[in-house]
Amino acid sequence: MKPKVAFFDFTGCEGCQLDALHLDAGEVIDLLNAVDIVNFREVMTERSDDYDIAFIEGSITRESEITRLKKIRDQAKIVVAFGACACIGGVNCLKNHLPMEEALKIVYGEDARYYDTIPARPADAVVKVDYCVRGCPPVTSELLKVIKALLLGKKPDIPNHPVCVECKMAGNVCVFERGMTCLGPVTRAGCDAVCINSGRHCWGCRGLVDDPNVDSEKEVLQKYGLTVEQVVEKFKIFNTYAEVAK
């Protein structure tokens, strides 16, 4: 029997799930031949509570989401955090710098009393997560690679080197040389330096590498007249949870 796969959305824009649909016809056929997708709100109305692999999109920002995620964890043999919000907390965690009542009033005004919220957190702050597919949104090819590895009973090969490696392989001029600030020296690769290739800078949406070369990063900042505090402020866009949780 084919493994049953389910996609679940928590607090987020659901862009990760939408981007996951960007498969060519051959990839779709191969995927459907390999697994049974039993829960995927973006593409199907049928739902099943019988699944083996659960992909979690979005951060956890309500008490009810904690209960729901724990129930999914109890059912699934494998849980995969999918996207920046699920993997590292993402932009939703920016509200963690405020008292929750104040955050609700800013967003909902007089209607704030009808809503509840808690400090946002990634999925692994609530349950054990087996693997992460990182990014905002994740790279579709990496998602397929992870699914294939899981079907073969192998540990997915997830990059654990900085974006700078991919950037240099692409032949890009360093973002710092262009007068901008980049988080590539300490951010986990796997995106093929897509933002830098497009003329922008790395936003840190894939989170820190496991063992970032902090000394090297400080040398780069010193060379270009930047401070650690300036970089930390930019890093908070996606990584506030890691910063606040210290």
Q: Which amino acid is at 140?
A: T
Q: What is the total count of domains within the chain?
A: 2
Pair 147, 184 in one domain: no
- What range does the domain containing 210 cover? 163-239
pLDDT at residue 26, rounded to an integer:
74
Q: How confident is the model at residue 93, as a pLDDT?
A: 96
> Same domain for 42 and 137?
yes
How many residues does the structure list for the chain?
A: 246
With respect to residue 157, please indicate whether it lies within any of the assigned structural domains: no
Q: Which pLDDT tens digits describe the chain residue by residue (246 residues)?
A: 899 999 999 999 999 998 888 877 678 778 878 999 999 998 899 999 999 999 999 999 999 999 999 999 999 999 999 999 999 999 999 999 999 999 999 999 999 999 999 999 999 999 999 999 999 999 888 999 999 999 999 999 888 999 999 999 999 999 999 998 999 999 999 999 999 999 999 999 999 999 888 888 888 889 999 888 888 888 899 999 986 555
The answer to whether residues 188 and 130 belong to one domain is no
Q: Are residues 95 and 190 in the same domain?
A: no
Report if residue 88 sits inside a domain: yes
Facing residues of 223 across strands? none
Model pLDDT, residue 31: 83
Are 98 and 182 within one domain? no
Whether residue 42 lies inside any domain: the answer is yes
Q: Are residues 66 and 137 both part of a single domain?
A: yes
- Domain harbouring 29, CATH code: 3.40.50.700
Residue 244 within a domain? no
| pLDDT at position 190 | 94
φ, ψ for residue 234, nearest 5 deg: -70, -35
> 125 and 225 share a domain?
no
Q: At what angle do helices 140-151 and 25-34 cross, to 10 degrees?
A: 30
Within a domain: residue 245?
no
pLDDT reported for residue 239: 93
Residues 6+ apart with CB under 8 A from 188: 134, 159, 160, 161, 162, 163, 206, 207, 208, 209
- pLDDT confidence of residue 25: 67
The pLDDT score that the predictor gives to residue 230 is: 86
Which one of 152, 180, 199 terminates a domain?
A: 152
- Are 120 and 11 found together in one domain? yes
